[in-house]
Amino acid sequence: MTEDYFATKFRSARDEVLYDLHLDSSERCSGDAEAPTGWFAGMVITADEIHAIARRPEVVEFQFKGQFPLTDTGLTDQFAGFFLIGGNDQGFVYVERCISQADLDGRIAELDAAYGAWLDTDEDNI
């Protein structure tokens, strides 16, 4: 039996795990929760990393609850890829799956530019 995922600050169990992985990573983070862009970071997960992800306690817990497949192959479908992770001043976290590294880099560049413009405007109002 699959338990329904009770959405909190995350939209799904996958997003919650990706956020935890982001916290454990050394990926660069930019933005600010107070900015219109929020904070944001890119994350790339390869198929080779799925075995380690599958052994994380939060993944095992969600597997037990029926939220994730029990096989590494099934987890690869959900976790391997290019992700943009971000959050806002209310603590909500979002995850956007990108189709390629170039797509992810482009999204980060867009957000970096918008964040930079917000910083410039904010400094002008001081």
**Could you tell me the residue ranges of all domains in the chain?**
13-121
Among the listed residues 54, 15, 11, 36, the one whose alpha carbon sits nearest the alpha carbon of residue 114: 36
Question: What per-residue confidence (pLDDT) applies to 1?
Answer: 36
What confidence score (pLDDT) does residue 26 get? 67
Confidence check: pLDDT of 119 > 60: yes
Asked if residue 103 has pLDDT above 50, the reply is yes
> Average of pLDDT values for 87-103?
94
State the pLDDT at residue 74. 79
CA separation for the pair 24, 110 (Å, rounded): 25
